[in-house]
Each structure stands twice: as structure tokens, then as C-alpha cells.
Chains A and B, each alone.
Chain A
Amino acid sequence: MKKTFKLEDLDCANCAAKMECAINKLDDVKHASVSFLTQKLTVETDGEVSDDLMKKIAKVCRKVEPDCRIIL
């Protein structure tokens, strides 16, 4: 399943790349892509994109770029 989320206050392109890298390292994520230009996060998983997984994603993102918020 593929789901797209809007990102708020994503200010630097390098952080976007770092976020993408960090999210891709999560176990349940098949593929993730963070676009700095469209300010969007796309997550692809085998099963459903669960709230639990989104919490994990939000957590790693906070670590890399605390200002950026994922709009759920």
C-alpha cells in the first residue's frame, strides 16, 4: 500500500534526504520518498500503513529534523 503525506516546515533539502534515508531504514517500510520540492512524504509498505508505523516514522523524522511535521 502506498500513502502520501504532506510535510510542514521542511526547510532544507539535505534534511529531506536524511529523513528519506532514515525512514527507508525502518523494517516495515518497503520504500519511502521525501520530496523537498513538493513537501511530501510517500510511504510504501507490504501491508497497511498503520498508525503505529506512522508513529515510528514521525519519531525518526523528529530526530533528523525536529521542525518538520508530518500532517496525518
Chain B
Amino acid sequence: MTKKQKRSLARILIAAVLLVAAWLLPLEGIWKLLVFLVPYAVVGWDVLWKSLRNIAHGQVFDENFLMSLATIGAFCLSEYQEAVAVMLFYQVGELFQSVAVGKSRKSIAALMDIRPDSATVLRNGEAVTVSPEEVEVGETLLIKPGEKIPLDSVITKGTTTVNTAALTGESMPQDKTVSDSLVSGSVNLSGVIEARVTSLFAESTVSRILELVENASEKKAKSEAFITRFARVYTPCVVIAAVLLAVLPPLFTDQPFTEWLSRALTFLVISCPCALVVSVPLSFFGGIGAASKIGVLIKGANYLEALSNVDTVVFDKTGTLTKGTFTVSAVHSDVISPEELLDIAAVAEVFSKHPIATCIVQAHSGHIDKSRITEIHERAGLGIEAVIDGKTILAGNGKLMDTVGAQWHPCHEPGTTVHIAADGVYMGHIVISDTVKEDAAEAISDLKAVGVRRTVMLTGDDEKVAEAVGKTLGLDEVHARLMPDDKVKAVESLLASKPPKTALAFVGDGINDAPVLSRADIGIAMGALGSDAAIEAADIVLMDDKPSKLARTVRISRKTMRIVRQNIVFSLLVKAVVLVLGALGIANMWLAVFADVGVMVLAILNSIRTLNAAK
């Protein structure tokens, strides 16, 4: 608790004791009033003071003023206990709100505990500890085990393992050595390293992420805007109703004015919309916090709200559902054994820098004897021609085979096919394809489980590759051979065909799909760790490469929305019931203040549950 909260608590306790004492004292008349005024003043002087000051500013429907009016009215009706109790519970509610909000603010700050406090820099051969803001690009950092990496940098000396758990929510130590880049906010685990700073603190990954999270509450969800608007009309309406209730019935009936005034005061007690106004943004705040705990950054409450209504999820293929790295997926040999075929191919491709060549070489398990090659030519756009063990080996596409008249045939497996011929005779082929991410199938089935109706994949690859991936993952639709602007068109037609009030999310790697990301209702970029472009372009950012986080995020959004709705319905219902009972004279001020403070406490406690929505 802060000093202010402690002082408020002390006042509440003293006032409570004085209230009980005043109750027990057998006093009558003016003395009784005076005795009750003591706890009233102790607990409510600031409310009274504020209401006077705000009246001077023309703020009539100010909650302080309404509370003052209600309690002073109660004093006038000789309802002394009620007057003090209303003020007392009002203050209890305010204190609770302040403590609860402060607590959840802190726990979210703890979730995002990635801000480095200091950086150790080598200046003139001496290690100096400074604040990260003071470090210039090009300076050398000294990072010890257990320390946070303060700025984005590149290792110049030493090897270590780092953990990016604070950023991605996934504890996966990664080995790093000289010339590997380090992301600020991750933790150095094992070795002492020196690293050259590559960006200023203000532009570093950690600053960008913190800025993004801190600005998230700026974009308000529809339900939040609704509550704010509602709050604006609620108070004036209740106050006007209270005035009418106090004035009209006594005019037209012969019932006493005091009875109706007392009922009107009950109205004033519940005229503050605080429970709603606090609990709704607090729920979103908690939901966004819970998502950041699993490494998903949401740029605004509106996106969290939209995500809960997601109906269509569109994926980019390469880098999103697949790893974007190629591996040998099949070896089909016609003449020799598959091992021999791979061996010949690997030897032929060993000097090539082409990505396909590299993965054939990687697939070869044994040692590659480079001395077997006597001659080698790269045939641009076709493949490679090499003389190995005295034989002329061709490795490449069908056109290359045609140049020597080798009898090649296409492969039924999807992917890129490398055909191999020796001295003009066809030997077989190797299929290279992009591998599907381990959790991609799970990601799709989980999305289905949370109620996403349509999953679509867009890709620039050919139909065969696209359909194969689509089938393995269980996607509903696959659109192949799309140029970047075709992807925008595809998303637009999907947007047009989705049911109203639902949302379409596009998931990409954020590198060259910025137009699509911005066109979709929710643009989601993944693998954003270290990619500034992705963080800029997307509405939701998955810090690591795991598409399976999507369904978890949808679940968080649903839970958040459920809590928001519960709070709205529950608070409105209780207020409405108390208003009706108050008008009928059944509910008195005691009940009204209990209902008002109680609803707020319950709504806030309910909101805080969103913080644990990730489980």
C-alpha cells in the first residue's frame, strides 16, 4: 500500500470505531448529531471539500458532490448512522479500487519485466556501469551470466547461451557465439561475453516492446467506449430521477415529503458508475497482460475484442505454417541405391551456395570427399554439371536432363525436384521441400476447437505444394500461385464473404505482407523477435515462431470478453434492482451503499481473473 492508501485506511478504521461509539452513546437531539458528525468529518472531509471545489468548476454530476448531497440529506432526515455509513463504505470502495488497480498494474509490470536497469560498457579498457540510455551505437558491452542483455548487439568475444523467455514466454536456451546477434531483454545464462551495440536503447527491441504494451490501453475496445458513453448519461439520469422522486409523489399524494426524500437519497448513493468504468478497462488490461505472458503482444483492447469474434483465419504459408527452410523430403532412385544417389548429388553440390544445394549437402550424413571432383560447372537456371569419379554427373531440373537426352520423369511428391543423371543416363531424383512447423497441425486443430469456422492458406507456391501442406495440416482452403497483390485481393474477397460481426485474422511473418496485415481486421505477425517491421505492421505480434499460440490467444480473448460481459450485466442488473427497490421504498441507504461498493469489489475481483487467463 502507498502512503496515501495507508492514510485512507487509518481514517476508515478510526471513523468505524467512532461510528460504533456514537451508536452506543445514549445521547439525544443536537448532541447525538454532533457525536455522529465526528466520524463523518474524519472519513468524509475530503469528499466534502472536493465536491465544493468541483461545484465551483461547474461539475454538478461529480460523484463527490452526489455522495455529499446524499449524506447531508440523510443527516437532515436524522438518519445519522446511514449518513456516516454511506460515506464510510464509499471510502472503503475507493480504497479497495485503488489497491486492486495498483496491484494488477504491478503484476502486469512484473510480467513485462524486461527493462534492463543498467549496462556495463568497456570504455578505455575499463568496465563502466551506466544506464542503458547512455550507451552509444558501436560501444562494447560486457555481459555477465545472469544479466539481462541491455541493448541489441552482436557478440564480439566469447560464447554463451541466452534465454528469451521474458520476450517469447517460452524458455528455450539458445547457443550464441561470435558474430551472433543478441536481442535486448533476453537473459545471458552461461558465459561472459563482449558484444558490440547495434542500436540505441530508444530503438532497441526492449524499448519497442515496452512502448507497444504501454500504449495498448490507448486503443479502446467497443465495450469500453460503450461503458464510457453509458457512464456519461447514467449519472445525470439517476440524479434527475432522484429529484423527480423527491418532488412529484409528495405533490400528488398526501404522503410525507421526508419519506420520498429518503428514497431519492438512495438513488444518489448508487448514482456513481464507478464499478463499470473501472472494471471493463481493467479486464482488458489483464487480458493483454496475460497474452504478453505467453509472448503475444496485443496492440490494443480493440484487437483483443475483435479476436474473440474471429471466424476466419488466413495464413501465409512460408515462414508461418512452414519453417521456410528446405530439407530433403524424399530420395527416389531408379538405378542405384538411394544412399548412393544422395552421395553423388552431395558431392556434386558441395561447392554450390544455392539453398537447394546446401540442404542436399546437409542431408548427406557422412564425409564428403571433395577430391573425387575433377571438374565442376554451374549451369545457371538449370543446375550443376560435375565430373565425379570420372563420370559426368548432371544435377538439376528437367531442362538440364533434356540437354543430354536423359529419360527423366516428374515426381508425384510436392516440392522442388532435383534430377540426377550420370553419363547421360537417368539415375533418379531428390525431392526438397519446405518443412511444416511441428506445431502447425496442432495450431489449426486448436483453432477449430475454439470455434474458428474457416482456415485458409495463401501462398505463392504451386498448387501441388500448397495442397500437400493444406492436407497435412487440415486447412479448409488453399489458394496457390498468388503474387503479393493477389493476396490482398484474396483477403478482400474473404472479408466480403465472412458473416457480419465476425473478424478475419491474417497471420504472416510480417516481412513482405504489410499490405495484407493492414487490410485484415486483425493483422498478426509472428516470429517478430528481432523484426522491427513486423512489430510496426501488425496489430498482434507473436514474439516467437509458434502458430499454436494463436488458439491460446483466442482463448484469452474469449475469457476476457466473458468477464467483461459478466461485469457489465452484473453491475447494471444490481444497480437496476436497487433503483427499483429504492423507488418502492424497500431498499434503504444501507442496502444501496452495500450494493454499490459490493458490486464494485466483485467486478474488480472478477476483472483481475483475466490476468490468469493464459492458463
Contacts and interface: CB of A to CB of B under 8 A. Distances in A.
B534 interface: no
A20 to B, nearest CB: 8
B220 A14 contact: no
A18 to B, nearest CB: 8
Interface of A is mostly: mixed
B215 A4 contact: yes
Contacts of B50: 66-67
B98 interface: yes
Contacts of B281: 13, 35-37
A12 B104 CA distance: 15
Given A36-B281, A37-B105, A42-B218, A63 B57 contact: yes
Which 3 pairs from chain A and chain B are nearest by CB? Answer: A13-B278, A35-B217, A13-B277
A67 B390 CA distance: 90
Given A64-B59, A66-B54, A14 B272 contact: yes
A12 B63 contact: yes
Given A13-B281, A14-B274, A37 B53 contact: no
Given A63-B59, A64-B59, A14 B217 contact: no
B500 interface: no
B591 interface: no
A57 B270 CA distance: 30
B218 A63 contact: no
B97 to A, nearest CB: 8
A17 interface: yes
A21 interface: yes
Contacts of B97: 12-13
A11 interface: yes
A67 B62 CA distance: 14
Contact of A17 (B98, B214, B228, B285): B228
A33 B231 CA distance: 17
Given A14-B63, A35-B218, A63 B274 contact: no
Interface size range on A against B? 20 to 34
Given A63-B57, A66-B54, A37 B231 contact: no
Given A14-B274, A17-B228, A38 B214 contact: yes
B292 to A, nearest CB: 14
A13 B217 CA distance: 13
Interface residues of B, number: 29
A40 interface: yes
Contacts of A36: 101, 278, 281
B275 to A, nearest CB: 9
B565 interface: no
A36 B276 CA distance: 13
B277 A17 contact: yes
Contact of A38 (B217, B220, B274): B217
Interface string B273-307: 11001100110010000000000000000000000
B477 interface: no
A69 to B, nearest CB: 14
B54 A14 contact: no
Contacts of B214: 38, 40
Contact of B277 (A11, A14, A33, A63): A14
Given A17-B228, A36-B278, A63-B57, A11 B94 contact: yes
Q: Which of B220, B273, B281 has the most C-beta atoms of chain A within 10 angstroms of its own C-beta?
A: B281
B453 interface: no
B232 interface: yes
B78 to A, nearest CB: 31
A17 B230 CA distance: 11
B274 A13 contact: yes
B419 to A, nearest CB: 57
